Amino acid sequence: MVKSDEKVYPPPDDVVSSAHIQGKEYSELYRQSIENPDVFWSLQANKLLTWNKKWRSDTAICAYNFDTSLGPINIRWFEGSELNLCYNAVDRHVEAGYGDRVAFYWEGNDVEQDGKMTYQELQNLVCQISNYLKSVGIKKGDDVTIYMPMIPELPAAMLACARIGAVHSVVFAGFSAESLASRIQDSKPRLVVTATGSKRGPKEIPLKPIVDEALDICSKQGHMVEKCLVYDHHQAVSKESVNFHSGRDVWWQDAVLTQSTSCPVERMDAEAPLFKLYTSGSTGKPKAVLHTTAGYAVGAAATFKYVFDYKPGDIYWCTADCGWITGHSYVTYGPLFSCASQVLFEGVPTWPDAGRCWQIVDKLKVTIFYTAPTAIRALNAKGDSYVTKYSRSSLRLLGSVGEPINPEAWRWYYEVVGNSRCPIMDTWWQTETGAHMITPLVGSTPLKPGSATLPFFGVEPCICDEKGNEIHGEGEGLLMIKRPWPSIMRTVAGNHDRFEKTYFGMFKGMYFTGDGCRRDSDGYYWIIGRVDDVINVSGHRIGTAEVESALVGHPACAEAAVVPVEHAIKGQAIYAFVTLMEGYSHPPQDPTLKEALIGAVRKAIGAIATPDFIHWAPGLPKTRSGKIMRRILRKIAGKEEESLGDISTLADPSVVETLIALRENS
């Protein structure tokens, strides 16, 4: 982490003069958004979206309770209003004469695969999907699970749900059958949408067999999914190579493309559920973060426009998959609300080589590029020549999301990728926040590499010590938010109690982010990382509890404790301490056991949760009451035993030395 007195990058003059928000305007608007949210958000909501019915003007624009001692946590924005997000993302642009504008430039995994979809074509497709959903009885409020690769049909399926008021739950197509099954089991959709498969890098990834397995697991547990809609993505995996369950399975090409291309939109209440997205927390199974309609839309639309400073003519590219929140807010919703043209990329940045992103940037004249630090570090490691081979002269703005960006990666991104011309928007936010929370604005915020800088409009962060005392001015502690912003999650679907405990149980009256944070003397925020048992692997959240439960599910494993360890590319990697059952030695005789344990995690969660290290542990450091001291395990994993601190409270302090000795054998 750099100190705040290191180099600051002020916004270039030409950027300021054309930006939506210029210079001091930020602080004036920010003050208004905090002092007079009704005026600020009414204006934005009117400007950014088209409403069927406006919100009530006789009450506050946001009604809420953030304090469990006063009653249930409850947040409502734009009460009384009605709008449809699919209409806002698609139809209104066609009505305004932009039907020929490209909505998606699709780039397949292989260089020669590409395609385009205009707003008119998107409208036709969305209507056809909606009509199909209706034909099988899906209606307002019903759940639909989507498990698809990054092809235009994925955001189109999400929008079709929004059009008819169904609640989409997109599951990232890298999760395993068991993970998919537990998400289906939790939200109990009648229909699942998928594709034959995908291709990423040199690998063919069949998706349909994973869905088959997941649906099998669900039916054994009592939930029968009635319909499985399968897109034949023949460029990646052919129809002939997957099984077809007649009665349940339906080919997209037959069932959807034969529907009418017109379908009315449902008027949706401000607080009608829009989507669920599962994310990992400290304990237990992933939770279903629920977002609703009006507030989410205003948050996604406002941040997309102001943070990326979007203007007509921009070609925007966010590399995130729609299986994550970034793909929801900054692929499906935010950009389309602005009628933007964007790139959808199904492949990986290093295929066929590490120049792929810049080849696409030049080909499509991308102006705004948004990615994650892990991708930046991976590309940096391959050397500059893959970048400098391409001109990248169309780029004007870069973005970063998912984890803290280390200043070295920031500088490489800025100097090499952006030719020292393109400001970097380091956007801090979460699945739960729905939209950017702490971020620079290109025309007003001087940048400091490694800092997400300042709060977005309406966001009131605060830093607290462990007792909940607010730290004013410079300082470090837990990052809390004092009041609701429009796109805050409304509940954990099916478990409001868990929502209240997780986010509002830390300190009275405040939302707890789960992140540690420092504020410098200029008021800039520096996110330190998670303070709970969540590991951020390549920008993806993995709960230690989920990995531990997968390991313990293997018959040879008696106990497991998982901690993060620093990793040059991934940011953090998964480091697992494993105690084997009676009768096994540590390390075990069987050389295949390590792979088998890793395999158990991949099966239960997916490849993204693969542990990088298995450390054989005949015993774990525990307190006398049996609590595992993860702090000590983190130090051992990070080879920082000189700063172990006090270990005298351990039931058996000698385990520490045994573990250090065994590190080399693991």
Task: Give the active site residues.
Answer: 532
| Binds ligand WTA by CB under 6 A, chosen from 4, 32, 388, 430 | 430
Nearer to ligand WTA, 285 or 586 (CB): 285
Q: Going by DSSP bridges, is the β-strand pair 470-471/525-530 parallel, antiparallel, or unpaired?
A: unpaired
| Binds ligand WTA by CB under 6 A, chosen from 449, 514, 571, 606 | 514
Residue carrying structure tokens 């295949």: 592
Q: Any idea how long the chain is?
A: 666
Number of separate helices (H) and strands (E) present in the chain: 22, 31
By Cβ distance, which residue is nearest to ligand WTA?
A: 431
Residue 515 interacting with ligand WTA (CB under 6 A):
yes
Which residues 6+ apart lie within 8 Å of 64 measured at CB? 74, 75, 76, 483, 484
- Give the separation between CA 193 and CA 175, rounded to whole angstroms: 15
Binding mask 610-629 for ligand WTA (x = CB under 6 A): --------------------
Residue 163 interacting with ligand WTA (CB under 6 A):
no
Q: Which stretch binds ligand WTA (CB under 6 A): 258-266, 310-318, 420-428, 499-507?
A: 420-428
Residue of 232, 200, 196, 190 lying closest to 212 (CA atoms):
196
* Token pair belonging to 477: 């502690």
Residue 76 interacting with ligand WTA (CB under 6 A):
no
Rounded to the nearest 5 degrees, what angle is found at the Cα of 34, between the Cα atoms of 85 and 519?
105
* Token pair belonging to 110: 């292989």
The phi-psi region of residue 129 (left if phi > 0; otherwise alpha if psi is between -120 and 50; otherwise beta) is alpha
Residue carrying structure tokens 């351990």: 650
Binding mask 359-398 for ligand WTA (x = CB under 6 A): ----------------------------------------
Q: Which stretch binds ligand WTA (CB under 6 A): 64-72, 250-258, 486-494, 522-530?
A: 522-530
Residue 422 interacting with ligand WTA (CB under 6 A):
no
Beta strand extents in 474-570 (DSSP E only)? 475-481, 491-492, 511-519, 525-530, 534-537, 540-543, 557-567
| Binds ligand WTA by CB under 6 A, chosen from 11, 404, 423, 440 | 404
| Binds ligand WTA by CB under 6 A, chosen from 326, 342, 371, 579 | 326
Residue 428 interacting with ligand WTA (CB under 6 A):
yes
| Binds ligand WTA by CB under 6 A, chosen from 157, 435, 527, 647 | 527
Binding mask 234-263 for ligand WTA (x = CB under 6 A): ------------------------------
Q: Which stretch binds ligand WTA (CB under 6 A): 132-140, 212-220, 319-327, 481-489?
A: 319-327
Q: How many of the chain's residues bind ligand WTA (CB under 6 A)?
A: 24
Residue of 429, 410, 407, 408 lying closest to 418 (CA atoms):
410
CB of 300 to ligand WTA, least distance (A): 12
Residue 370 pairs in a beta bridge with: 318, 399
Nearer to ligand WTA, 187 or 536 (CB): 536
| Binds ligand WTA by CB under 6 A, chosen from 402, 461, 484, 621 | 402
| Binds ligand WTA by CB under 6 A, chosen from 82, 178, 186, 403 | 403
CB of 574 to ligand WTA, least distance (A): 16
DSSP SS3 for 263: coil
- Give the separation between CA 109 and CA 181, rounded to whole angstroms: 27
- Count CB-CB contacts under 10 A for residue 499: 23
Question: What type of residue sits at position 407?
Answer: P
* Token pair belonging to 356: 């792929």
Are the CB atoms for 130 and 229 separated by under 8 Å?
no
Q: Which stretch binds ligand WTA (CB under 6 A): 115-123, 159-167, 257-265, 400-408?
A: 400-408
Nearer to ligand WTA, 335 or 404 (CB): 404
| Binds ligand WTA by CB under 6 A, chosen from 178, 314, 346, 426 | 426
Phi, psi for 619 (deg, rounded to 5) = -150, 155
- Give the separation between CA 663 and CA 636, rounded to whole angstroms: 8
* Angle, helix 294-307 to helix 37-48, in steps of 10 degrees: 80
Binding mask 445-474 for ligand WTA (x = CB under 6 A): -------x----------------------
CB of 439 to ligand WTA, least distance (A): 8
* Token pair belonging to 286: 């992933």
Nearer to ligand WTA, 166 or 405 (CB): 405
Q: Which stretch binds ligand WTA (CB under 6 A): 214-222, 457-465, 511-519, 563-571?
A: 511-519
Which residues 6+ apart lie within 8 Å of 445 measured at CB? 11, 26, 453, 454
- Give the separation between CA 385 and CA 389, rounded to whole angstroms: 6
Site residues for ligand WTA, 111-140, by CB under 6 A, read none
Residues that bind ligand WTA (CB under 6 A): 279, 324-326, 400-404, 426-431, 452, 513-515, 527, 529-530, 536, 541
